[in-house]
C-alpha cells in the first residue's frame, strides 16, 4: 500500500464493518488497530451525482435513444428518390411517432432534375405508409404543390381514387432499408453518440449512390 493507507478492515461476523470503521475492528476481527483515517478531500468526502449526469451529452433523448416495442432503440426515417436511391435520413428516438418527422423529412434531400438546373427539394409526388398520414400533412403537401400517395386510416374520410400502382413502388424504399442493413454498423447500433451513428448512415448512403 502507498501513502500510508491501511488495508480494509476485516468484516465482522454479520459481514459488515461494525459501528466504527475508522477505529478498532469489530468483534470477530484479527484485533489489529488502524483504519482508513479521514477521507480524501473532493474525492469521497462528499456525496453527489456523477458529473456525467449534468452534461447534455449522453442523455437518451439527445442521442436518439428511446423505448419502443422493439426495446431501447433508434428509429430510422429514410427519404429516397424515384429509383430507390437515398436522399436523407433522420434519427429520432425509438418512442417518437413517424408523423412528427414527416415535414422535416420533406424539407431535406434535394432531387436532381431530369434536365439542366439546380437540384430541388420539392418532389412531384410523395409516397409513404399509413404512419405518415394525417390532414395536416396532406394540407402541407397541397400548399407546396406536391401530390401524395399515402393510404388513409380507417378513422379518416376516404374520398377519391387511390393510386395502387404508385403505392406499390414504395417497395423501393423497403429494398433500400434492406440494403443498408447489410452493414452491421447500421443493423446493430454500435455507436454511442447519435452524430457518429448518423455519420455512418451518410457514408453507407454515399456508397450506394456510387454503386449506381
CB-based burial, 17-35: b 16+ in 10 Å, e otherwise: bbeeeeeebbeeeeeeeee
Hey, what domains does the chain have and what are their CATH numbers? 1-47 (no CATH), 66-211 (3.30.420)
Q: Among residues 85, 98, 76, 91, which one has the least CA distance to residue 150? A: 98
Specify whether the CB–CB gap between 124 and 117 falls below 8 A.
Answer: no
Beta bridge partners, 74, equal: 93
Give the pairing of strands 66-68 and 71-73. Answer: antiparallel
The count of C-alpha atoms lying within 13 angstroms of the C-alpha of 172, restricted to the half-sphere facing its C-beta, is 17
Per-residue pLDDT of the chain (212 residues; tens, 9 = 90+): 445 555 555 554 555 555 555 555 555 555 555 555 555 555 545 554 444 444 455 677 788 888 877 778 888 999 998 888 999 999 998 888 888 899 999 888 887 777 787 888 888 899 988 888 888 999 999 999 999 999 988 888 877 788 889 899 889 999 999 999 999 999 888 888 999 999 999 999 999 988 86
- Per-residue confidence (pLDDT) for residue 54, from 0 to 100: 44
> What does each C-alpha distance from 149 to 78, 164, 165, 175 come to in angstroms?
17, 8, 10, 19
CA 127 to CA 108: how far, in whole Å? 15
Question: What 3-state class would DSSP assign to 85?
Answer: coil
Q: What is the pTM of this model?
A: 0.65
- Per-residue confidence (pLDDT) for residue 73, from 0 to 100: 84
Amino acid at each position: 500500500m502507498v501513502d500510508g493507507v491501511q488495508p480494509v478492515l476485516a468484516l465482522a461476523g454479520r459481514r459488515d464493518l461494525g459501528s466504527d470503521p475508522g477505529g478498532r475492528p469489530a468483534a470477530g476481527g484479527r484485533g489489529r488497530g488502524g483504519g482508513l483515517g479521514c477521507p480524501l478531500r473532493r474525492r469521497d468526502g462528499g456525496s453527489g451525482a456523477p458529473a456525467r449526469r449534468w452534461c447534455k451529452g449522453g442523455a437518451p433523448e439527445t442521442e436518439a435513444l428511446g423505448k419502443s416495442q422493439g426495446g431501447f432503440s433508434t428509429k430510422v426515417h429514410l427519404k429516397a428518390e424515384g429509383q430507390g436511391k437515398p436522399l436523407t435520413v433522420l434519427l429520432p428516438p425509438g418512442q417518437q411517432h413517424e408523423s412528427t418527422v414527416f415535414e422535416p423529412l420533406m424539407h431535406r434531400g434535394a432531387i436532381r432534375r431530369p434536365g439542366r438546373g439546380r437540384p430541388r427539394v420539392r418532389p412531384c409526388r410523395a409516397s409513404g405508409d399509413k404512419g405518415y398520414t394525417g390532414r395536416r400533412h396532406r394540407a402541407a403537401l397541397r400548399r407546396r404543390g406536391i401530390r401524395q400517395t399515402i393510404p388513409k386510416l380507417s378513422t379518416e374520410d376516404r374520398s377519391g381514387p387511390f393510386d395502387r400502382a404508385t403505392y406499390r413502388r414504395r417497395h423501393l424504399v423497403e429494398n433500400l432499408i434492406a440494403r443498408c442493413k447489410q452493414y452491421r454498423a447500421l443493423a446493430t447500433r454500435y455507436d454511442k453518440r447519435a452524430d457518429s451513428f448518423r455519420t455512418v448512415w451518410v457514408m453507407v448512403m454515399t456508397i450506394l449512390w456510387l454503386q449506381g
